[in-house]
Amino acid sequence: MVEGLRHGGFGGPAVKFTGIDGRFGVFVGGRGGWIINQTVAIGGGGYALANPSNFDHLTDGTGNPGRLEMAYGGLELGYSHRSQNTVHIALGLLIGAGGVAWEPDGSAGTRLDDSVFIAEPEFSLVVRATRVLEVRLGVSYRLTRGVELLDLGDSDLSGPTGVVTLQFGSS
């Protein structure tokens, strides 16, 4: 072990509030990883659209109704500035991939899906609630590339996001 190096782990749930194709979307998921010297975090996260019924306005080329489904995840990197303080800031970046699909209602139509690239930088205000719990309130921007599903494009699935995370762990 390197002398003076402190490290530990973290994990917890996250909820993301965002716009998708002009409608309100909620993603739920979690993140976890390794913390080095209370400053650098390396880990992963995954998120899935929790309210696909809010996207039942989409139809395939023949007019069959359906709903949008989406999930993504990947490598998450983070940096906490002055993490020893009760209130501090953190920066993060998710780089990964995801899937987006159109699921037909009933038996009409055929499921359509696509793979996409995701990059999501994040800025958070962190409040250390206890020795092992941090509450993170943040904003991010989900940048999606490679969307080719129905009449949806990259800009329909990209956008600003509000993020609430409970992070458990120690370093």
Q: With pLDDT > 90 as the criterion, what percentage of the chain qualifies?
A: 73
Domain residue spans of the chain: 7-154
C-alpha span between 67 and 101 (Å, rounded): 8
C-alpha span between 76 and 14 (Å, rounded): 13
For domain 7-154, which architecture applies? Beta Barrel (2.40)
Higher pLDDT, 80 or 60: 80
| Strand ranges (E), the chain | 7-20, 23-36, 40-49, 66-81, 87-104, 112-128, 133-145, 159-170
Over residues 62-75, the pLDDT tens digits come to 777 888 899 999 99
pLDDT for the residue 171: 65
The angle subtended at Cα 136 by Cα 130 and Cα 141, nearest 5°, is 165
